[in-house]
Amino acid sequence: MQTFFHQLSHILDQKYILTDDQDMAPYSTDWRKRFSGKALAVVLPGCSNEVAAIVKLCAEHHIAIVPQGGHTGFCGGATPDNSGKQIVLNLKRMNQILAVDIANQTITVQAGCILQNIQEAAAERGFLFPLSLGAEGSCMIGGNLATNAGGTNVLRYGNARDLCLGLEVVTAKGEIWNGLKGLRKDNTGYDLRDLFVGSEGTLGIITSAVMKLYPLPISQWTTLVATESIAHTIALLNLFQKRASSLLTGFEMMTHESLALNEKHFPQFKNPLNGEPPFTILVELSDHESEAHVRQLLETILEEAFTAGIIADAVIANSLAQANTFWHMREHITLAQAEEGANLKHDITIPLSSLDEFICETDGLMRNKFPGVRIINFGHLGDGNLHYNIAPPEGVDQKTFNTNNEKAIHELIYGQVERFHGSISAEHGVGQLKLADLRGHKGDVAHDLMKALKRALDPQNILNPNKVVSI
Ligand code: FAD
Ligand code: MLT
Ligand code: ZN
């Protein structure tokens, strides 16, 4: 090990090699405090050549590498194991915006750029970079791409994969693949970019990316709407899709139980809708024509929804500040859950046509089998993506409840997901959290193909082993 550290010190300045437990602590436990590990070292490279040299060195010494961005992921993908033999390679020093191409409408960024900084850099030049999620102040674009992150704009602009035109990646051999062309069309065989996007650091280390930009909308209107059922909520979504088409940029659902938990921890976020509706829907329209145009469209659609009996109440934000408050109310549910304690997360997608039946049936089964549990169900309903999170009954010991029931609760929910032909990971990835569930969910053929890819690209199994697939 002495030789390894000696050679490492030829690649990186000593201050970028952390080995002290206290220095490594922030890199060893994830945002939720659900996963913790012990690394051999944390390394902080400043450029792709340094990343490549580190990977080569690790390959020579058979040392596993855990790539890491903002460490906000929910599946433990960026957390080292407990062996004390893995190194964490954090990309935060690689945080430069490399280029903005106005004609091509693209931005080229290093992997360690914080998502919010990219949004701001785009806005300064009159562009929208649409990827948006609650962790945007600390997650990094490399992590967003590695998890194929979703968030609140997927409905209109797609997930991280859809926004990516090119990548630079360090392979498991320590070679640098430069795929930073930024082309919207390129049918030259296998799509390497799409292989690395969503691979959670198991196939290569993303060091830079070319991302799509869009014109900034002139006006955005945000409204909160009350519905009585999921069937009505989907009717509302379909109405907005029909009347507003691509102007519909957000459609988020929050159950009464989710908002009650939010209000318990953040009383400033009181639901402005009347009568504690079972479902509160946040709808956002974005327009490139005029403020008056989009406002009138929104009012017309809401009127039609009232007349059709699919909504019970609506509040249109009358200022940017109020619109921001509506969004913060939605985004704080995750923080409220963290304040409340450990919860069991289920980031699932169900086809919209089955969503009503799925929720009615699964809520019933859940309450029957685990009396008193709180179903913190909310999410990107426009994408069929629910965060069907389960918090222990009020007053019981959370740790004991979760230890005793986690497996059975996962089984119940994932069983329902399979029954309704959904996915057990909509946007958060697999990491270590869902490693054991993947084969059953994907099926033997798909799982074996994934393992074959992993073996082909990382035969020594040094890139994030035992995350996503074990070989
Ligand atoms: P990390 O957590 O550091 O890493 C995630 C995975 O990517 C790990 O497997 C890691 O090894 C790998 N990785 C990281 N960087 C690289 C790289 N450069 N090359 C190769 N592999 C790499 N997610 C959503 O999809 N939608 C949401 O709406 C959403 N909301 C959130 C709200 C909050 C409050 C929080 C805390 C998280 C939320 N997340 C959400 C989850 C998380 O923010 C995303 O998964 C995010 O994309 C992770 O980025 P990161 O930089 O923190 O990655
Ligand atoms: C969100 O959309 O806020 C997060 O992805 C959901 C979560 O906390 O489970
Ligand atoms: Zn989400």
Mean pLDDT of 45-60: 98
- Ligand 1 centre and the CA of 44: distance in Å? 18
For position 342, what pLDDT does the model report? 87
Percent of the chain, pLDDT > 90? 99
Site to substitute for ligand 1 among 55, 65, 68, 329, most atoms within 8 A of C-beta? 68
Q: For the residues of 348-391, what is the DSSP string, one character each?
A: EE--GGGHHHHHHHHHHHHHHHSTT-EEEEEEEGGGTEEEEEEE
Ligand 1 site, residue 385, Cβ cutoff 6 A: no
Mean pLDDT of 373-385: 97
Q: How far apart are CA 67 and CA 398, in angstroms?
A: 31
Tokens representing 95 are 């945080």
| Cα dihedral across residues 153, 316, 134, 260: positive or negative | negative
Q: How far apart are CA 306 and CA 293, in angstroms?
A: 20
| Cα dihedral across residues 119, 251, 298, 161: positive or negative | positive
Mean pLDDT of 324-337: 97
Ligand 1 site, residue 35, Cβ cutoff 6 A: no
Residue 107: count of CB within 10 angstroms of its CB: 27
Site to substitute for ligand 2 among 31, 34, 72, 74, most atoms within 8 A of C-beta? 74
Mean pLDDT of 407-414: 97
User: Going by C-beta distance under 8 Å and a sequence separation of 6 or more, which residues neighbour residue 239?
Assistant: 301, 304, 305, 308, 310
Ligand 2 site, residue 346, Cβ cutoff 6 A: no
For position 202, what pLDDT does the model report? 98
For position 70, what pLDDT does the model report? 98
- Ligand 3 centre and the CA of 169: distance in Å? 26
Ligand 2 site, residue 389, Cβ cutoff 6 A: yes
Mean pLDDT of 316-325: 96
For position 206, what pLDDT does the model report? 99
- Ligand 1 centre and the CA of 427: distance in Å? 10
Q: How far apart are CA 192 and CA 175, in angstroms?
A: 14
For position 1, what pLDDT does the model report? 85
Write out pLDDT tens, residues 133-157. 999 999 999 999 999 999 999 999 9
Ligand found nearest the CA of 149: 1
How distant, in Å, are the alpha carbons of 239, 256, 302, 323 from that of 305? 8, 21, 5, 21
Residue nearest atom 1 of ligand 1, based on CA coordinates: 71
- Ligand 2 centre and the CA of 255: distance in Å? 14
Residue 228 — very low, low, confident or very high, per pLDDT cuts 50/70/90? very high
Ligand found nearest the CA of 429: 1
**pLDDT(420) > 90:** yes
Ligand found nearest the CA of 150: 1
| Cα dihedral across residues 452, 453, 459, 465: positive or negative | negative
Site to substitute for ligand 1 among 72, 90, 432, most atoms within 8 A of C-beta? 72
Mean pLDDT of 111-131: 98
Q: How far apart are CA 287 and CA 22, in angstroms?
A: 49
Ligand 1 site, residue 115, Cβ cutoff 6 A: no
Residue 329 — very low, low, confident or very high, per pLDDT cuts 50/70/90? very high
For position 316, what pLDDT does the model report? 97
Burial code of 299-330, b = ≥16 C-beta within 10 A, e = fewer?
eebbeebeeeebbbebbbbeeeeebebbbebb
Burial code of 140-163, b = ≥16 C-beta within 10 A, e = fewer?
bbbbbbbbbbbbbbbbbbbbbeeb
Ligand 1 site, residue 59, Cβ cutoff 6 A: no
Ligand 2 site, residue 387, Cβ cutoff 6 A: yes
Longest dimension (CA), the chain: 75
Mean pLDDT of 239-263: 97
Q: How far apart are CA 360 and CA 320, in angstroms?
A: 35
* Mean pLDDT over each residue of the chain, to the nearest integer: 97
Q: How far apart are CA 69 and CA 49, in angstroms?
A: 18
Q: Which contiguous run of DSSP H or E holds residue 258? A: helix 256-265
Percent of the chain, pLDDT > 70? 100
- Ligand 3 centre and the CA of 145: distance in Å? 15
> CB-side exposure of 433: number of CA atoms within 13 Å?
26
Ligand 1 site, residue 210, Cβ cutoff 6 A: no
